[in-house]
Amino acid sequence: MTEYISIQDALTKGTGKVSIRGWVHRERGSAKLKFIVLRDSTQIIQCVLKRDTFPEWEEIDKLQVESSLQLTGELKKDDRATTGYELLVESYEVVGTSDKYPITKDQSKESLADKRHLYLRSRKMTSMMKIRSTVFGAIDEYFKTAGFYEYHSPIFQSVQCEGGSDLFSVDYFGKKDVFLAQTWQLYAEPAIFALEKIYTISPSFRAEKSKTSRHLTEYWHAEMEMAWCKFEDIQSHGEKLLKHIVKAVLDKHKPELEILGRDITKLEPTVKKPFVRMTYTEALKILKEKCDMDIPWGKDLRTIEEEKLTELYDVPIICTHYPKQVKAFYMTEDPEDPRTVQGCDFLAPEGHGEIIGGSQREHDIEKIKQRLIEDDEKPEEYDFYLDTRRYGSVPHGGFGLGVERVIRWICGLDTIKDAIPFPRTMERYKP
């Protein structure tokens, strides 16, 4: 039986006879020679087939982009080849043919989106997906090492948490008060009384009607919740988590970041330097002084303001103490300024904006009920949740990180849509 090795392993080996398999990434031919750049999940390599060697030339001559092949041949160093080596093919097998591959060089965004299932094979998407895999692993690793349990909340939920306007309702056997999760939070808080420190990475759903480069309707949400914590602990876990993720990607994926055209010097400060901390009120002052943007106190920061603010720094900003009215009902009032809450948004540099939202949770049951009423919610529907404040309530808090927002920032992508294999937005749910 032939033993196949990866193209990367073949390149590392550098000489001798090897068998490899993969897909035709590029091809060109003449009467006597066929050059094929073969791609597998690890690398690409130039392969050459000579007419003299193969009497069945017609089959080789017809080979097109994305045909799948198994090749055996002799490696030789060749500085002209993209990855430094060439395979002189001695035998081959066409495993799957390909005819007129629909993705050619010049493609509109729209047609690439229609052909997303094929576009995944591009070197850019492959690089993003490798980084994505590392990001998920790094999140897991960070929380497990820090003593958190992985915990799972339901996706079908009967209460809303982050505001009703972007809820997806589901026809649940004719019942209409069922929604897809926007966050795990109301189902995570009950579990900290059992496990104390918990995390998850799970899909969240938001019926975002805005067409922005940072909103999906289905995204992966890494969330944590912990008992006995102070507001500062939430911020420090967020900072350490982001440093851990970026470091893991930089350690492992310099080649992929290069394929994506990412300037990695822009990411290094995040690993090395402390994050910038400021309150919402200070942020307004900076926006006014340095960016000539005058925002009345009490209004939420918009994308454009977050962009301008984050362009001023080379590390993420932890912005805290937002006005109560722009944040969710469960956030604790700040004892020193009850107009504000102990909530924090992490804003990624280079204009990427919010990647984490977190807070210390309100423990006063009366205040929570009051805030629910102000949000036009019925406190009795939250009775199960309010039990968390009735029986042995403790100070606690947590945050949610948008995994695709982090990937977009790390990879330097124009849009969040390219941070997930099959993006779901208001306009697109196919293929």
Applying CB under 6 A, the residues found at the interface with ligand ATP are 162, 206, 208, 215-216, 219, 221, 354-357, 400-402, 404-405
Choose between 115 and 424: whose C-beta lies nearer to ligand ATP: 424
Query: With respect to ligand ATP, which residue has the nearer C-beta, 20 or 319?
Result: 319
Closest CA to 38 of 67, 4, 15: 67
DSSP state of 100: S
Q: How far is the CB of 2 from ligand ATP (least distance, A)?
A: 45
Q: Is 366 exposed, middle or buried, given 0-12, 13-18 or 19+ CB atoms closer than 10 A?
A: exposed
**CB 352, min distance to ligand ATP, A:** 10
Residues 395 and 229: their CA atoms lie apart, in Å, by: 6
State which residue, 27 or 162, has the beta carbon closest to ligand ATP: 162
302: nearest Cα among 276, 280, 274: 280
Nearer to ligand ATP, 25 or 221 (CB): 221
Count Cα atoms within 13 angstroms, Cβ side, for 13. Answer: 18
What is the crossing angle of helices 123-145 and 231-252, to 10°? 140
Q: Helices 123-145 and 403-411 sit at what angle, rounded to 10 degrees? A: 120
- Measured from the CB atom, is 67 or 153 closer to ligand ATP? 153
- Least distance from C-beta 208 to ligand ATP, angstroms? 5
Distances (CA, A) of 92 to 10, 88, 162, 354: 16, 11, 57, 51
> Helix, strand, coil: what percent of the chain each, to 5?
35, 30, 35
Nearest distance in Å: CB 65, ligand ATP: 33
> Nearest distance from residue 405's CB to ligand ATP, in Å?
4
The residue among 66 and 345 lying less far from ligand ATP, judged by its C-beta, is: 345
Instruction: Assess whether the previous peptide bond of 338 is cis (omega < 30° from 0).
Output: no
Q: Please, what is the minimum distance in Å from the beta carbon of residue 202 to ligand ATP?
A: 12
Structure tokens at 186: 């109301």
The region, left, alpha or beta by phi > 0 then psi within -120 to 50, assigned to residue 98 is beta
CB of 331 to ligand ATP, least distance (A): 11
- Work out the angle between the directed axes of helices 303-310 and 280-291 (0-180°, nearest 10): 80
Pull the structure tokens for residue 20.
């490899």
**Minimum CB distance to ligand ATP smaller for 98 or for 213:** 213
Q: How far is the CB of 240 from ligand ATP (least distance, A)?
A: 17
Nearer to ligand ATP, 23 or 220 (CB): 220
Q: One-letter amino acid identity for 234?
A: I
Residue in 94, 92, 116, 91 with CA at minimum distance from that of residue 103: 116
| Residue partners of 97: CB distance under 8 A and separation at least 6 | 64, 67
> Which residues are 317's β-sheet partners?
276, 347
Closest to ligand ATP by CB, 42 or 415: 415
CB of 404 to ligand ATP, least distance (A): 5
Please report how close the Cβ of residue 413 comes to ligand ATP at its closest, in angstroms. 13
Residue whose CB is less far from ligand ATP, 309 or 356 = 356
